[in-house]
Amino acid sequence: MIIVTGAAGFIGSCMVSKLNNKGCKDIVIADDFSKEVKLSNIAHKTFREKVERTLLFDWLSNHSKEVEGIIHIGARTDTTEFDMRVFDELNLNYTKKIWNFCTEKSIPMIYASSAATYGDGSLGYDDHDPALSYKLQPLNPYGISKNEFDKWALQQPQSPPRWYGLKFFNVFGPNEYHKGRMASVVYHAFRQISDDSFHASLTGKQTSSVKLFRSHNPNYRDGEQLRDFIYVKDVIDVIWFLMNHTGDSGLYNVGTGKARTFLDLVNAVFSALNLPSSIEFIDTPIDIRDKYQYFTQANMDKLKSIGYDKPFYTLESGIEEYVQGYLVGGGRF
């Protein structure tokens, strides 16, 4: 039996689909299922049982002998939330309890860390040296909470038999519809174009355009901020690989290893819709301006060194599949 937390969310629900596609049906999913907007993500998936996030540890105490592995994706991911108590409860202490359970019961564990741990990137994006975690200065409480757990895990004298902390970079893809402001720029670009196209159908005036944040850093021109964008299907392929890997526990970057501009991204969305590009620039909101990452690019050598050799989607191919295969029809994976 596999436990997936955050299973009604973005990456978690895609992971359940991956497991189903691999023939795995003995899955227990955990999440906050009170948010109806997320329920469509699990509507057509096969699993054994659904457990409320707050009741998971009671459930585990009665079923520990059946658990073969835990994929802990659930977390508070809102980078605009600044109440550290929220992150301490949901991202730090909850994950510690899962770690301790997996250690005590000798169960492999995979958990979601984040590229937000790297802060402004001044120390690079290298996952080889565990000591780097103690030097990093994340730019927001979300990143701090993820880095605090990474540091805590590295300090533990005892650990699960295999464990992998995955530093996800900028993930996009199906099943993120509920994320609101925290959804990917691909999703927001599509929505802006679609809303403008609907307006045009009513008025007869074509106004389709996408708004991007203006650069407030003299080293980057507007729209040329760089991020390592990774399609969610690549993310779940990495998780599947690690589920079936032996040894080599530790922290791993999960990106493509190739930074691309927001202009590249938006142009790819327009191309997937067979529309000419139209982009406007707006000021970055004050509440996130001094915490904004202008460049991220994962060093992927560590993951490749343990045998992961599957090619990643290009930005264009991932966006084309996401837009045409999911966003246009509102489909789920």
Active-site residue, selected from the candidate residues 142, 164, 177, 187: 142
**In whole angstroms, what is the distance from residue 104 CA to residue 160 CA?**
8
Beta-carbon contacts of residue 141 (< 8 Å; ≥ 6 apart): 81, 82, 83, 84, 86, 87
Torsion of CA 238, 242, 245, 250, to 10 degrees: 120
Residue 142 designated active-site? yes
Residue 179 designated active-site? yes
Beta-carbon contacts of residue 80 (< 8 Å; ≥ 6 apart): 140, 181, 182, 287, 288
Two tokens, residue 276: 């000419």
**In whole angstroms, what is the distance from residue 288 CA to residue 278 CA?**
25
Single-letter amino acid code for the residue at 241: F
- Report the DSSP pairing between strands 163-168 and 226-227: unpaired
Angle at 304 between CA 102 and CA 147, to 5 degrees: 45
Active-site residue, selected from the candidate residues 105, 151, 179, 302: 179
State the catalytic residues.
142, 179
